[in-house]
Structures are given as C-alpha cells and as structure tokens.
Structure 1
Amino acid sequence: MDVVSDAIAAVRVGRPSSNRLRVGGSWSVRLPSYEGAGFHVVLSGSCRLLPDDGEPVTLGTGDVVLLPHGAGHVLADRTAGPDAARRAVPLAEARDTGGPGPEVELLCGKYRLDRSRTHPLLAELPQVVHLPHRVGAHPELRSAVDLLARELDASRPGSGLALPSLLDLLLVYMVRACLDGAGPGLWPAVLDDPVTTAALRALHSDPAAPWTMERLAAEAGVSRATLARRFTALVGRPPMAYLTWWRLTLAATALRASDAPLATVARATGYGSPYALSHAFSREFGVTPGKYRDAARAA
C-alpha cells in the first residue's frame, strides 16, 4: 500500500457518518470540536463556515471543505453577521428562520479517527482545507461528490453499503487534493523526494521484513549515509525509528480491529515473539497489548 492509504487506514475507527442539511433564510448551526475529521459538501446554494479559531470561509455550490483535526465551527447563511456564532443551534435543530437568502443544501459528515497514532502526513494538514469547485480541478473528488449527490437523491437497493463506501473514497480524494495543492511543506517535499519515497514505499509494502539500513539503502539506490540524512531531514526521524513507530501503529490497529492472537500480530508486524511485541508495545503505549485491546473495545 502507498503511504497516504496507510496513513488514513491506520487511524480510521468505525464507519463514517453523515447528515443532509436543507435550510434557508437566516440560519446558523454549531458543530462542536470532534475527535476525528469533519467535512461538508455544498450540494446547492452557498453559505459561510466560521471556524472557532480562524478566518471565515465562503462556500459555494460544489465546494468541499475538510476539517482534518475536528475543529469546532459554525455554518451560517451567506449574509450572516457577527452574531452568527452566538445564535447558532445544534445541527439537529437547524431550520429556516425566515429572512432573505435562498435554500442551501449540504452533506455534513465526520470520520472517527484514533488521534494517538496520527501519521505525520495527516498531522501537517491545516485546521480547515477549502477545496473550491473549479472545472477540471480534482476530477476524482468531483466524481465522488456527484455520486454522493445521486445516492442521496434516491433510496436505491444497496445504498446502505454504497454511501459509507463513497464517504471512504471522499476522504481519500480530499486528502489527495490537499496534498496536490499544498505548495511548500513537509510531506509534499517528502513525496517529491525519490530516495525518501522509495524507502517509505519499501517499509510500508513489507513492514514485517527484517529491514536493516543496508537493505533499505539498497532499495532506495543510495548509500546508508545519504538515506539517513535525507530521510531524517524530511520525515523527522531516522528510517529505523520510523519503522518501529509504524510497526507499533499497525499492531495497535490490528489489536483494535481484530481478535487475532498476539503471536499473529507479532509476526505480521516484524516481531519475533509475542513477548518482543509486548515489551515494545508497553514501552510505546504505556499499557500491555491486552489492556490496549480491552480499552479500545470499551470505548
């Protein structure tokens, strides 16, 4: 798998949820901060997004906005004044309160994420990512938005499976669009560097392999010193330290999502025995794998 796919898969918990919002006139709704990522798709009309900490954003038909860190915010009609945040009501109570302004229709949703293992690629994203609708821009994202709109318009056989699957695709396309338009930054630079990308691809393709600096440098086609220098400068930790972090992240994901025995998890993540995994896991998380699994299920 590629790094972006792995970064998303490692922190996803459960299924995404969404609500369709139709409202007009003068309106204002509050969405509190959330331990995950929120998003909005403007299906028709226009409105404003007012982050709790940041500048207002005007949204038009076809626009998509991602809040990758679950920041609290207010959605309001386009003519909303400074009092919009004060008079905002919960999303479930949104209604037309009269006044000027056309009807607005949005798809509002959120993804549950395990913040304890956020990949640095996702951690670098800003609090609010506005992806305006532009002809020819981000065709995959536009296609996903169109499909979502059609799926919402009619109750078709299989919609219970289709909608969550489309929401999963939407997250991938939103993150991809963020990276495509990010400009200068840490992870765009990482993904543009052939040496670091080759090393990351190798580690993510087979994290359980008996990696050494010599073997990884050979995969990247450079010396050990060159790999260590470029990888550490861009990723923020040496290759072997990143591998340890990633293996334990995968172990946490497996413990959270499956009933696999600890020995199976250990083999899949490159540890020679359940004891070796338990020792490394306890050092990283402060709890044993068994207690971690129990706590994840109780949450």
Structure 2
Amino acid sequence: MDVLSDVITVMRTGRPSSARLAWHAPWAQHFASIPGSAGFQVILQGPCWLISPDGMPLPLATGDVVFRPHGRGHLLADNPSTPAPPEPACDPNDPGAPRGPVGDDRLLDAPTTVTVCGGYRLDPTRTHPLLGDLPELVHLPAHLGRNPGLRATVELLASELEQPRLGSDAIVLALLDTLLLQILRAWLDQQSAHGTTRGWAAALNDAPTAAALHAMHRDPARPWTVAALAAEAALSRTPFARRFTALVGQPPLTYLRWWRMTTAARLLRESDVPLGAIATQTGYASEFAFAGAFKRHHGTAPGRYRRASIAGARD
C-alpha cells in the first residue's frame, strides 16, 4: 500500500456517516466538537458561511468542500448575523440524527442551501503524524477543472444520499472513504502548489523522501538499512538521512520502527493472525524479538494488548 492509503487504514475506526441536508433561510446550525473525530461539509447549493469559535467567518459557495480534521465544532449559517439556534448541536458522526427546527421550516419552498455533511471516527491512539500536520480547517474552494476526482466523488455521494437504491449503504461507505482520500490528496496538491517546505505535505511532495516512505510502507518486513532506503531515494546515505529527518521530523529507521509497531498493533486489534506471523510481517526474525520490541514501544506484551483490545471491543 502507498503511504496515504496506509494513513487512512491506520487512523479510521468504526463506520463513517453522512447526510444530505436542505436549509431554508434564515437558518443556522451548530456542529458539535467531537474528540476523536473529523467532519466535513460539502456545499451542493449555496451560498452560506462557516463560523468558527477561533476564526473569522468564512464564506462558502456551491462546490466548496471544508474538512475539520481535529473534530472542532463550528456553526454553519446563511449569514454571520443569523442568531445561533437553541436546539442541540448536530453530531458530525451522526448528521442525520433528529434535531430541532431548521430555519423557518418552509418545507414547500425551495431551499436556499443544500449540504452534504458527515464525520469519521478516528482512534487518537494511532494517529498518523500526517493528520497532526493538518490545520484546524481545510478549505477546498470549487474551481472549474480543479480536483476532478474530488468533484466526481462528491457528485456520486450526493446522488446516492438524495435517491437511495439497492446497494446504497455499501456504495455510500466506499464513497466516504474515497472522499477522505480525495480531500487529503487535494490538500497535499494545494500545499505543493504553495511551495510548502516542511512537514508531511513537503515529505510526500519530495520525490526522494516519498520514494523511501513508499518503500517502507510497501514492504515493512524487509530488513531496511539507511543505505538501502537511500538507494530507493536515489541519494547517497548521508544526504538522504539528513533530508528525510528534516522533512519527516525523525530519522528513517525511527519512523520505520514506529510504523512497524503501529502496523503490529492494528493486526493484533483487528485480526487473529498468530504472533509469529505478525512478527514476520513487521520485520522481526522471531516472535521473541517482536514481543520485546512491542513491549518496549507500547508498554505491554502483544498477547495482553490483543486480549485488552478484544475486551474493550465487547464493552
């Protein structure tokens, strides 16, 4: 798998959710702050405003996509001057849940704004550093010809939510995962266009560093050395190590060890793969060596970690 696909696999948990909502002016709706989640808004018909507690009101237009990767709350409204409603906030992880009246509830009138909103549940114990680099708000304005994959995903998702058919449940879940990937892709492209010089956006847009990262993610079991990773990056050893550390924030083998332990933890939680097989998949010559490395990293033995994860899931 490539790095971005692995990031989604590691941090996502549970089922994402979404809903298509129509609003009648004047209207305003709170979206709650939910730790361990990320939420999005897609404006199918507008305009409207996004109002954050810690920022200036942001005007949104038809086709705009906004992403809140750290689960912070916000207000969506037809106008910044519209009073916030007294009803409970909408949960980004359950946007279709019953709420109080929206606007003046003139259901026979054409809505002034139509949105698709939703949320993803994230496990804070396995957050990839790429997510930590994301700002509080990712705004992807609609531009003709820009991000065609994102636009196509939005259109398909909106169509399935507006007119559900046989198979829509499975299609919507797949589209929500695709949407998250397309949002992250578009943000990375945006950072590249702006000449970002540090952090994970820069690392994935830097050909030598990205080559090494993809190699580690593609084959974490390989007995990688700095020299072998430098060869993947087509650089000599010292310049590669310096470049990788500056962009990723840690040396190559330190990141490799973190990724192996993160992969091992996911396999222990989500599968019944034997410990010996997990050791092999994560680059350890024996189950004993793997168990020692896992305990040093996670503070508990792999067998105990698996039992605790199973018990937690049952609770």
How does the TM-score come out when normalised to structure 2?
A: 0.87
Q: Superposed, which structure 2 residues align to 1:155-174 within 5 Å?
A: 155-174=164-183
CA distance in 1, matches of 2:309, 2:56: 36
Letter in 1 for 2:135: P
Structure 2's unaligned 5+ residue stretches are 91-97
Q: Superposed, which structure 2 residues align to 1:1-299 within 5 Å?
A: 1-34=1-34, 35-76=36-77, 78-81=78-81, 83-84=83-84, 87=86, 89-91=88-90, 92-98=98-104, 102-182=111-191, 183=194, 184=196, 185-297=198-310, 298-299=312-313
Change (3 A) 1:134 1:94: farther
- Residues paired across the two proteins, number: 297
Change (3 A) 1:96 1:196: closer
CA distance in 1, matches of 2:100, 2:40: 17
The offset of 1:88, in angstroms, is 5.6
CA contact (8 A) 1:29 1:94 kept: no
CA distance in 2, matches of 1:248, 1:281: 6
Sequence identity percentage: 49
The offset of 1:99, in angstroms, is 9.3
The offset of 1:196, in angstroms, is 1.4
Q: Which residue in the other structure is 2:95 paired with? A: none
What do residues 166-215 of structure 1 show as CA deviations (whole Å, max 9, x unaligned)?
A: 11100000000111112224223212323212211211110000111222
CA contact (8 A) 1:42 1:106 kept: yes
Deviating above 6 A after TM superposition, structure 1's stretches of 4 or more consecutive aligned residues are none
Deviates more, 1:229-238 or 1:282-291: 282-291
SS of residue in 2 equivalent to 1:16: strand
CA distance in 2, matches of 1:146, 1:187: 29
CA distance in 2, matches of 1:218, 1:131: 36
The offset of 1:232, in angstroms, is 0.9
Change (3 A) 1:133 1:270: same
Change (3 A) 1:54 1:262: farther
CA contact (8 A) 2:27 2:82 kept: no
**C-alpha root-mean-square deviation of aligned residues, in Å?**
2.2
Structure 1's unaligned 5+ residue stretches are none
